[in-house]
Structure 1
Amino acid sequence: MSQKHRKTCEVCKCNREVHDVFHREFVNVRERLGLGDTLGRANKEICLQEGYTWVPAGLTSEQIYDYMSCLPGHKVPRLGTPGEKARERLLMLQLPKQDLALPYTRHVEVQHHTSFKDFITARNDIALDIGIVNPSLDRGQDCSGCGDVIPRGAVGVLAPRIGDADIWHPSCFTCTTCNELLVDLVYCVWEGALYCGRHYAERLKPRCAACDEIIFSGEYTKAMSKDWHSGHFCCWQCDESLTGQRYVLKDDHPYCIKCYEAVFANSCDDCNTVIGIDSKDLSYKEKHWHEKCFLCNKCQVSLVDKQFGSKMDKIFCGPCYDAQFATRCDGCGEIFRAGNKKMEYKARQWHEKCFCCCVCKTPIGTKSFIPRDQEIYCAACYEEKFATRCVKCSKIITSGGVTYKNDPWHRECFTCTNCSASLAGQRFTSRDDKPYCADCFGELFAKRCTACSRPITGIGGTRFISFEDRHWHNDCFICAACQGSLVGKGFITDGADILCPECAKQKLM
C-alpha cells in the first residue's frame, strides 16, 4: 500500500519496483495502451505455446526464435525466467498506467481533465506506435541505433512513425533517455528519436517526484532538481508540506526541521538535549556537544578551538589533563602534554622528536624501523650494521638473494665460473666447489657423444650408453646402416660404427 500520494511502501518507503510487485496475469500491451487488440485470446495462446509472456506479432516459431536470440539473455521474456520479471518491470516503468488513461490518475484536477485527454489523444495520434519486426532483410542496412551494418537476411525492427528508411537491431531498439529495451516494441517519437512512454511524456510535461503523475497544473514546486505537485513536496517522515518551509536533505529525501531533529539530530553529551540544526554540533569519538557545552570536565573552561585530552570518556583542557593523567616520554623523560603526538611501541612511548634511530639519531616519524635488543634502528643503520652481505662483492643484499653452500650471494653475483653468465634460477652444477652453467660444464668436463660429439651432461635426467671407451646419448645410439635405435638391444661393432644384428648379417653376406 502506498502512502497518500507516494509511489512507495508505507512500511519501508522503498519504491514498489524494489519489492517485485508486478503484474502476474497475462498482459496485452495493446489493451494496456487502450488501442484494442483484434488478436485477443489467440495472441495469448501463441505466447504461451512458444513459452514467452510476449512475442512479436505475425512471426512463425522459427522467426520468433531468431528475434529472441538477438536480445540480451536476461531481457528475453521467457516464462519463469528473470526475463519475465524484466518485462514486467519495464511495463510498469515505461508505460505507467497513470500516463495512459484518466481513471488511473489520482491527482489530475477536474479543471485539467481536458488537458490530460488532449495530451493522450495527441500522443496516440502523432507519436505512439508499436515497432514491426522484419524477420529477414532483403538487403544490408546500417542500424539507426549503433551504426553497425545489419546484414541481409538478419532480423531488424522498423518504426513506422519514423519511416521505412530507418531500421534497428532488436537489441538497439531502445529509449533515447533510459537506454532500456522498448518493452513489447512500444515507442513514441519525439524530434526523430525513440522514447519510451514515460520519457516521451517527460519531454513535454513535468512529472511529480512523489506521485509519479504528469503535472498539468501551471503551478508546481521545483526542489532538489525535481518537480513536485505543490502539495506533494512533503516531509519524508510526517508528510507535512515543505513548500515555502525550511527543510533538510538526508539520503536524498527532504525532512522538516522537527522530524529531522527528532530522527537524526544528536543529543548533547553534557546537557542531554537535542543539538538542533541551528546549533553547532561538536563531536569527538562518537560523542557530541553543543558549542556552549564543550567544556573542560574539571575547570569548566571552553575547549572550542583549543587542544584537549580525553580520559575515562571525559574531556579536559591541556593543563588539567597534564596535571592528572600525563605520562612521560621514554626518551627525554618529559610529560606528554595535551595534543602532543605520541609514538608507542611495546608498552614504551616517546615524543615524536624523541622516537629516533639509536645510531644516527634521525627521528623515525612514520618511516619504517627495526627493533633489536630494546634499541630502535632506522632501516639504513640496521642494514649497515646487521644486514646480510654478498660473499662475492661484500655489499648488502636487500632483496632477492641466492644461497649456495650456506653462503649468501646477490642474484647478479652468482655467476658461472667460466663464462660469468647468471645462474640465478638456471640449471647449474659444480666442480671443486665452483658453480658452472650446464653448457660450460659440458664443454669443460663432460664425456662427449661418439656420434654427435656434443657433451653428455646428465643434467635434467639425460641418459647415455657407454661401451669400452666410447659413449653415446640415448638418442644417438643407433645402427649406422638402418638408423634404428639400439638402446636395450644387442649390437655388433664394425670399426667405428655399430650395427644391429640384421644389418651386420646383411653386410657379411
Structure 2
Amino acid sequence: MSERFDCKNCKKSLYGQQYIQVENEPHCITCYEGLHANTCQECKEIIGHNAKELAFEDRYYHEHCFRCFRCDRSLADESFTSHGDLLLCSDCCLNEFSSKCVSCDKTIMPGSKILEFDGSSWHEDCFVCHSCEKPIGGEAFVPNKNQYYCVPCYEDRFTPRCSHCNKALTKGGVTYKDELWHRECFLCAGCSAPLAGQPFTSQGETPYCVKCFSSLYAKKCAGCNSAITGFGDGKYISFEDRQWHQPCFKCSRCSVSLVGSGFFPYRDLILCTDCNNDD
C-alpha cells in the first residue's frame, strides 16, 4: 500500500496534481492561493501561482498592475519612485514634485544646483541680473519690484550718488540744499575741513566752516572788530553801514547796553540818552 500524498490544508490527494510547497508542506493550488498568495496592491485581486509577481516595500503587484499612477506606463523595466502608495515613473515624478525654474519654466532636475528666493526657484544659470544679464550665482543681489540686480548694477541704477565724487551712497551721508554727500566728501570750500557734524554756513550754494566764512565773507563787529558769524555770538544789530554783536552794542562812553533802548549816533560813536544829554 503506497504512502498518502495529500494537501496539508484540505487533505485532498495530490497524486497527479499541481501543488506548491509551503515550509516543506505540500498545498494544492486552491489552498495555496487562498492561504498564502499575495494580494495585488493595485487591483486587490489574488496574485495567482502562475502570474508574474513584482514586490516593492512590502507591497505586491501583478506585473501588468505595476504601472505609473499618472501616465499608466509599465514600471516593470523602468526607474520609478513612490509617494505614499502611489508609484510614479521618473518623468512624472519630476513633473509632479520637482521645482520648476521661474525663468525658463523647465524642471530643475534632481542633483542640479538650485537657487531659491521668496518661494521661487531658478536654475543656477537662469538666475541673472536684470541689468547686465550675468548669472548672480552665490553673490549678493538686491530685489526690486520682482526684478533682481547684482550689487554693482543696483548701485549704478538706483542708489543716490554723492554730489562731490559721484560714487554711490550706500549708507549714511549728508543732505544739504537737496543734495547728497558722503560724510567724508562734505568739506569746507575754503580749507577742505570735514563739515559733517560741525557748524557751518554757506556763501551762495558753497559750504564753509565758520573760520573760513568769517575770514572770507563775515562782516566785522563795530565794537570788538571780530567777525559776525551768527555762531556762538547770538543775534546782531545793524545800523546804517555798521553791525554789532548784541553784547557789543554799548554806549561808547559809559558802556551801558543799548539793546532795546534808544541811542544817538554821534560821529563814529553811539551814545545812550544820558551821555547824549551831557553833551
- Tell me which interval the TM-score lies in, with the shorter structure as reference length: 0.5 to 0.7
Distance 2:249 2:209 in 1: 26
Percent identity between matched residues is: 45
Distance 1:323 1:414 in 2: 58
1:441 corresponds in structure 2 to 213
Q: 1:363 aligns with which of 107, 130, 136?
A: 136
Distance 2:195 2:242 in 1: 31
1:377 corresponds in structure 2 to 149
The within-5 A match list for 1:90-105 is none
Q: CA separation of 1:468/1:321 partners in 2, compared to 1, >3 Å: closer, same or farther?
A: same
What is the DSSP-based 3-state SS (H/G/I as helix, E as strand, rest coil) of the residue aligned with 1:394? coil
* Normalised TM-score (structure 2): 0.56
Q: Deviations over 1:71-99 (max 9, x none)?
A: xxxxxxxxxxxxxxxxxxxxxxxxxxxxx
Does the Cα contact within 8 Å between 1:449 and 1:471 map onto a contact in 2? yes
Does the Cα contact within 8 Å between 1:401 and 1:409 map onto a contact in 2? yes
Q: CA deviation at 1:475?
A: 0.7
What is the DSSP-based 3-state SS (H/G/I as helix, E as strand, rest coil) of the residue aligned with 2:102? coil
2:161 corresponds in structure 1 to 389
Q: CA deviation at 1:322?
A: 1.7
Q: Deviations over 1:440-484 (max 9, x none)?
A: 333322321111111223358932222333221111112344433
What is the DSSP-based 3-state SS (H/G/I as helix, E as strand, rest coil) of the residue aligned with 1:412? helix
The gaps in structure 1 that reach 5 residues or longer are 1-291, 300-307
Q: CA deviation at 1:332?
A: 5.0
Q: 2:235 aligns with which of 452, 463, 469?
A: 463
Q: CA separation of 1:373/1:487 partners in 2, compared to 1, >3 Å: closer, same or farther?
A: closer
The gaps in structure 2 that reach 5 residues or longer are 1-56, 59-66, 69-79
* Normalised TM-score (structure 1): 0.33
Distance 2:147 2:190 in 1: 45
What is the DSSP-based 3-state SS (H/G/I as helix, E as strand, rest coil) of the residue aligned with 1:440? helix
1:337 corresponds in structure 2 to 109
Q: Deviations over 1:278-333 (max 9, x none)?
A: xxxxxxxxxxxxxx88xxxx99xxxxxxxx9997x889899363253334323455
Matched, 1:454 2:229: no
Distance 1:417 1:483 in 2: 39
Q: CA separation of 1:376/1:492 partners in 2, compared to 1, >3 Å: closer, same or farther?
A: closer
Q: 1:484 aligns with which of 251, 256, 276?
A: 256
Matched, 1:415 2:187: yes
The within-5 A match list for 1:51-200 is none
Distance 1:315 1:386 in 2: 50
The within-5 A match list for 1:278-317 is none
Matched, 1:400 2:172: yes
Does the Cα contact within 8 Å between 1:309 and 1:338 map onto a contact in 2? no
Does the Cα contact within 8 Å between 1:322 and 1:337 map onto a contact in 2? yes
Does the Cα contact within 8 Å between 2:124 and 2:135 map onto a contact in 1? no
Does the Cα contact within 8 Å between 1:355 and 1:363 map onto a contact in 2? yes
Q: Say which one has the larger Rg.
A: 2
1:474 corresponds in structure 2 to 246
Return the structure number with greater strand share.
Answer: 2
Distance 1:416 1:437 in 2: 5
Alignment-mate amino acid for residue 108 of structure 2: F
Q: CA separation of 1:314/1:389 partners in 2, compared to 1, >3 Å: closer, same or farther?
A: farther
Does the Cα contact within 8 Å between 1:318 and 1:337 map onto a contact in 2? no
Q: CA deviation at 1:428?
A: 3.2
